[in-house]
Amino acid sequence: MQAKINELKEYSKNFKILYVEDNDDARVQTQKMLSNFFTDITIAVDGKDGLEKYLAFYKKNDYNFDLVITDINMPNMDGLMMSEEIMKRDSLQSIIITTAHNEIEFLTKAIEIGISGFLMKPVSSMQLVTVLYKASLAINDRKLIDDYLEQMQEMTLSLEKQYEDVLSKNRELEQSSRVIDTMIHKEEMSHLKSAKISNEEKEQNRFIKEQIQDLITEDLHELIELHNEIDTIIIDIINNISTVHSDLYMTLASKFSKYASILNHYSFFGTLSKEMQLFSDTLAHKALPEDSDTVRNIFMLLESFIFVIGKWQNDLKLGDETKINTLEASMTSDMKTITNMWSQEEADIQNIFDF
């Protein structure tokens, strides 16, 4: 966990964030925790104030906040309405919702808007590190892509100018033609050298497609049924966290084990299967964390994980290997995080957090 905290600090040190909370006590406490990772935090006291500061920030800087963290229930404008307005202006904006356990009905709406993550109140150090780490990775990836696109645009403009100069000078045109011919020749030689590798890649892709097709034909229907049953159990646990009978956790562990067992038949999904089985074993054999808020946080993350599983199953139907690969890697990481949260004591995490 200390390694994750250090990595999070490295990612987030230059981020500019907007934090929106109407409750004075909650705002002061959470701002104090956030200041461990962010040096530039803009505060707003409700959704209307938050949207105004979001627009003013863009007008001043010509770019948006890296991250928005907002409560749901607030006067003047609630957090979901503010988030919708923000997403209209930037559909890729990273937004984290802070919510109380009695606001679970807003979960579906938040997912539809495209919220990046959730923090359950009262915000604990463990879930703060977990959610911020995942959001920071996504923000960093987006920055890298934006930088790449900007460089490509600059290169395109530069090439266009060079092309205009070449058109005005016959001698330069002839020289450029020779350069282009040389580049084409090198490219052809490169293709010849990589022919053997390409054949191996084609064989690997064929094997992956066959496995995906076998899974769709033989087992996808059963996976979808298991997914729906798991989703129902998780929602039931979240809504009745203090009165859930142990048998329900054992049933959930059994469903996860069955899902993992089916995936294990296909080597392409072996890593995800292993992490799901490890979580099932932890759920079945390791005692619940004593803190009910920690348990609720785990199952809120599980609900988010199950939502991604549903998207992954839809991509399986479509046979889109690119999306399947991306989501499979993300789900494996999420499953490992949830298992670690279950296994570690909150006190240990707090000691690490209070560095």
Class of residue 333 by CB neighbours under 10 A (exposed 0-12, middle 13-18, buried 19+) = middle
Residue spans of the domains in the chain: they are 2-139, 200-353
CA distances from 226 to 86, 214, 220, 229, 314 (A): 36, 18, 10, 5, 14
pTM of the model: 0.48
Phi-psi bin for 36: left (phi > 0), alpha (psi -120 to 50), beta? alpha
d(CA 4, CA 14): 17
Average confidence (pLDDT) over 204-231: 82
d(CA 287, CA 304): 23
Q: How many CB atoms lie within 10 A of CB 230?
A: 21
Which pLDDT belongs to residue 320?
A: 59
CA 353 to chain centre: 22
d(CA 202, CA 324): 18
Which pLDDT belongs to residue 348?
A: 47
Which pLDDT belongs to residue 349?
A: 46
Which pLDDT belongs to residue 167?
A: 55
Q: How confident is the model at residue 353 (pLDDT cuts 50, 70, 90)?
A: very low
User: Phi and psi of 219, rounded to 5°?
Assistant: -130, -10
Which pLDDT belongs to residue 54?
A: 97
d(CA 141, CA 131): 16
Which pLDDT belongs to residue 102?
A: 60
Please tell me which of 160-169, 190-199, 247-256 the model is most confident about, judged by mean pLDDT.
Answer: 247-256
Q: Which residue has the higher pLDDT, 317 or 310?
A: 310
Q: Could you tell me which of 102, 59, 109 has the C-alpha nearest to residue 81?
A: 109
Q: For 108, what's the count of Cα atoms within 13 Å in the CB-facing half-sphere?
A: 3
d(CA 210, CA 354): 50
Contact present, 74 and 20 (Cβ < 8 Å):
yes
Average confidence (pLDDT) over 195-220: 72
Mind listing the pLDDT tens digit for each residue in 245-261?
888 889 999 999 999 99
Looking at every residue in the chain, the average pLDDT score rounds to 80
Q: How confident is the model at residue 317 (pLDDT cuts 50, 70, 90)?
A: confident
Reply yes or no on whether the pLDDT at 49 is more than 90: yes
Which pLDDT belongs to residue 85?
A: 95
What percent of the chain shows pLDDT beyond 90?
Answer: 26
Please tell me the class of the 2-139 domain.
alpha beta
Reply yes or no on whether the pLDDT at 293 is more than 60: yes
Q: Which residue has the higher pLDDT, 132 or 289?
A: 132
Class of residue 344 by CB neighbours under 10 A (exposed 0-12, middle 13-18, buried 19+) = middle
Reply yes or no on whether the pLDDT at 55 is more than 90: yes
What percent of the chain shows pLDDT beyond 70?
Answer: 78
Q: Which residue has the higher pLDDT, 207 or 223?
A: 223
Average confidence (pLDDT) over 267-283: 87
